Amino acid sequence: PTFTIARELDGHFAAATADHLVHVDPYRLGGSAYAPGQDAIGRLLDELESLGLDEELEDPGENTVVLMEWGEQMATALAPERLEIHIDRPLDSSDVASAGSDGELTSNGTRTVAFVPVGKRWAAFDLQ
């Protein structure tokens, strides 16, 4: 691909430990070819493996956070235990007024962020 699929960053999180962040944009890999279903999941995993990202996903390490931008259709297959971050922007009359000439929303508008823990690993985290 001619665009970045994964970017790795090293730094420090709140606990001041040396940490590693892997930001993956797998939705760029297959485009519309990834409809929900096992065939799509298999193709995606094959592509991630060919890019060397499968190791980061299978065993990310104690101080590694993998941030993956993907729609809900692949989340369960890629990470049965995960923290989902839902960013929603309800449409209302002010949003319609701020839409560009091509019908796409601009960067204006209020967003709602919800953290959804999935699996035992995330159950103990207080995300309020």
Alpha helical stretches, state H, 12-61: 27-30, 38-50, 54-58
Note the pLDDT tens digit of each residue in 10-51: 988 777 777 888 888 876 666 555 555 557 777 777 887 887
Answer whether 76's CB lies under 8 Å from 37's CB: no
Q: Indicate whether 21 and 64 sit together in one domain.
A: yes
pLDDT at residue 121 tops 60: yes
Q: Indicate whether 28 and 64 sit together in one domain.
A: yes
3-state secondary structure (DSSP) of residue 108: coil
CA distance 74 to 35: 9
Note the pLDDT tens digit of each residue in 65-117: 888 877 666 677 777 888 888 888 766 555 455 555 455 555 667 788 888 89
Q: Indicate whether 102 and 60 sit together in one domain.
A: no
Note the pLDDT tens digit of each residue in 2-19: 567 788 889 887 777 778
Percent of the residues in the chain that have a pLDDT greater than 90, as a whole number? 0
Q: Indicate whether 32 and 62 sit together in one domain.
A: yes
Question: Per the structure, how many domains does the chain have?
Answer: 2
Q: Indicate whether 66 and 86 sit together in one domain.
A: no
Q: Indicate whether 69 and 86 sit together in one domain.
A: no
Domain that holds residue 47: 1-73
Answer yes or no: pTM beyond 0.75. Answer: no
Q: Indicate whether 55 and 111 sit together in one domain.
A: no
